[in-house]
Structure 1
Amino acid sequence: MTELRNLAYLVVATNDLDAWRTYASDVIGMGICQPRADTIGLRMDDHPWRILIERGDDDDLTHAGWDVGTPDALDAYVEGLRKKGADVREESADRANARSVTRLYSLADPNGFTHEFFCSRTGRNDDGGDLSAVIRGPGFHTGDLGIGHILPVARDYDASVRWYQDVLGLKYTDRIRQQMAPGVYADATFFHSATGRHHSLATGAFPSRKRLNHLMLEFCDMNDVGAAFDRAKAADVPIILELGHHPNDQMFSFYMVTPSGFGLELGWGGITVDDATWKPRIHDVMSDWGHKRNIITIA
């Protein structure tokens, strides 16, 4: 089956566009645009936007957009989904235009949001994303690796792991299973796409009223992680996990709460997967140092 290349964009609903605008620009350091009324676009690079914030009551992830690469690859991927019995649908030209793509297909995720698939992005602008002046380094690590990763909360963990592999076609990277108390485990499974970011999607079963546990954005410069951590604290943004390091993707990062209530991980140093040499394993800790937890549940 044709593979997804990378996670290219996200769509999030919110009831507070102004809070997201300030948070994205002043705390994270993203560029800001307004694709249409009642939306703001969050920029990271030459794409017209990487995260679209729309006015809505959900305050949660609504759509995840995947780049399939070429028109032929998109056709083959959609055909492969249909052969598996997946109810994949072609979206209207208006919806495709709103996503700044030429053609668009969609498929419902069992955990309550929608995946979208496309093969080319329109409206790209060679301005580096017009990032906020608070950024110190070159910006965000995107390109062929995509936007970063998402961790949706699994309604049925085992079924979700199977669906992401067998239907969506993501490849198993590794797993973390940490004993939190006698007989009580935190468990997450990680998946990568064709271009090899350690994981573009992970899932686990966690107490949450949100569909999205967190999303991750990666800086090109380690100093931007520390600077963003300082800005978040100065702005009284709740910190979920303080600075620390993950053993599986080797990410140095911290986690904070977004205006929509789910988490945002800002990191640096994540590894990529070479399928020819990668050997999956099960880790027994979520973090090998740091990541002191300040908030038990975030929503």
Structure 2
Amino acid sequence: MGVSSLGYVRLESTDTEKWKQFGGDFLGLMPVEGGDPESLYFRMDDYPTRIAVSPGAQSGMTALGLEVIDERELTSLAAAVEKSGVKVTAGTEAECAERRVTGFVRFSDPGGNPVELYYGAVLDHKPVRTPLVSKFVTGDMGLGHAIVSAEDARSAFDFYVNVLGFIERNTMRSGGGTTWFMGCNARHHTLGITPMPGPGRLLHLMVESATLDDVGLALDRAQRQEIPMMHTLGKHTNDRMVSFYVWSPENYAIEFGWNGLKVPEPVPVYEITEGAFWGHRFTPPPQPAS
């Protein structure tokens, strides 16, 4: 069966204070308490924390949390990862409790990205409250989608498809090489792999809202709060999402979107030659103060 969705993302940041505004006041996620009083935890639906941000000496992703359906599937996938030559480590009881999951394993993908496969989200049955956003589109499609890098993107793509069970959706070629977009549920893509020198890292994270008004209101919040814009409002060619992008406190590309394409049945793979039908004009990241 393979991976079922992107369940959570865990980050370290040199400035968690900025994430209090960015995650709560801008994105509209629900801040909640977690196992570490120094960390920030955000919900967006009935699941436990979807984004966790901990203080760190340098900023980076510490876990791409991929959900599987049950313990049997976790055991099967962990064995397949080991067979592919990648070392797998089981999470401890304390780590499971902090993540509010029943069980998980961790490893680094062929590009060096930290991955956690988990099952059994522990629900607290307290309604989520996101007054700035009518609703986030999650459910069996998970948190949203992420794009990560790999020096050998082809090897990373092969690993996600042949070992973890992702489905290729489309590709896009650029001067740097080929980017692969992959799905694991009805969301057009849950993961993308793009070639880039050095160890793998998170480049982009998308959250999807339920209405176009949610996107417009988020645009207004970004302007009021002086959140730096990365891509203006536009519509993608691959997943048809209407969205805009901002730069996070660590300069991740954070996309806030609506009406992404659903692919409930297998369809032929295709290549795109443009990223957007319209809009999505680019602004470089802000430069650090000298």
Pairwise same-fold verdict (TM > 0.5) = yes
SS of the residue 1:158 aligns to: helix
Q: Could you tell me how far apart the structure 1 residues matched to 2:50 and 2:256 are? A: 15
Q: Please give the residue correspondences for 1:22-171 in structure 2 after superposition, counting only pairs within 5 Å.
A: 22-35=21-34, 36-127=36-127, 129-131=128-130, 133-135=131-133, 137=134, 139-171=135-167
Quickly say closer, same or farther: Cα 1:167–1:209, change in 2 above 3 A.
Answer: closer
Alignment of 1:263 with 2:261, yes or no, is no
Q: Is the 8 A contact 1:246 1:288 kept in 2?
A: yes
- Cα RMSD of the aligned pairs, angstroms, is 2.1
How many angstroms does 1:296 deviate by?
6.7
Q: Could you tell me how far apart the structure 1 residues matched to 2:82 and 2:113 are? A: 19
Q: Is the 8 A contact 1:208 1:297 kept in 2?
A: no
Q: Could you tell me how far apart the structure 1 residues matched to 2:120 and 2:187 are? A: 20
Q: Please give the residue correspondences for 1:140-219 in structure 2 after superposition, counting only pairs within 5 Å.
A: 140-177=136-173, 184=175, 187-193=178-184, 195-205=185-195, 211-219=201-209
SS of the residue 1:38 aligns to: coil
Quickly say closer, same or farther: Cα 1:272–1:261, change in 2 above 3 A.
Answer: same
Q: Could you tell me how far apart the structure 2 residues matched to 1:298 and 1:67 are? A: 36
Q: Could you tell me how far apart the structure 1 residues matched to 2:129 and 2:14 are? A: 25
**Structure 1 gap segments, 5+ residues each:** 179-183
Quickly say closer, same or farther: Cα 1:209–1:85, change in 2 above 3 A.
Answer: closer
SS of the residue 1:217 aligns to: strand
Letter of the structure 2 residue corresponding to residue 158 of structure 1: R
| Alignment partner, residue 279 of structure 1 | 268
Q: Is the 8 A contact 2:147 2:204 kept in 1?
A: yes
Q: Could you tell me how far apart the structure 1 residues matched to 2:91 and 2:242 are? A: 38
How many angstroms does 1:9 deviate by?
0.5
Aligned residues: 287
Larger strand percent: 2
Q: Is the 8 A contact 2:157 2:193 kept in 1?
A: yes
SS of the residue 2:237 aligns to: coil
2:217 to 227, 238, 250: 227
Letter of the structure 1 residue corresponding to residue 22 of structure 2: Y
Show CA shifts across 1:91-111 (max 9, x none). 111111111111111111233
Quickly say closer, same or farther: Cα 1:177–1:297, change in 2 above 3 A.
Answer: farther
Show CA shifts across 1:33-74 (max 9, x none). 120211111110112210011111231211011111112222
Aligned-residue sequence identity (percent) comes to 28
Q: Is the 8 A contact 2:9 2:65 kept in 1?
A: yes
Letter of the structure 2 residue corresponding to residue 267 of structure 1: G
Q: Could you tell me how far apart the structure 2 residues matched to 1:207 and 1:241 are? A: 23
Q: Could you tell me how far apart the structure 2 residues matched to 1:110 and 1:78 are? A: 15
| Alignment partner, residue 19 of structure 1 | 18
How many angstroms does 1:298 deviate by?
8.4
Q: TM-score, normalised by structure 2?
A: 0.92
Quickly say closer, same or farther: Cα 1:116–1:210, change in 2 above 3 A.
Answer: closer
Quickly say closer, same or farther: Cα 1:210–1:71, change in 2 above 3 A.
Answer: closer
Quickly say closer, same or farther: Cα 1:220–1:79, change in 2 above 3 A.
Answer: same
Q: Is the 8 A contact 1:164 1:170 kept in 2?
A: yes
Letter of the structure 2 residue corresponding to residue 235 of structure 1: Q
Quickly say closer, same or farther: Cα 1:215–1:124, change in 2 above 3 A.
Answer: same
Q: Could you tell me how far apart the structure 2 residues matched to 1:208 and 1:148 are? A: 25
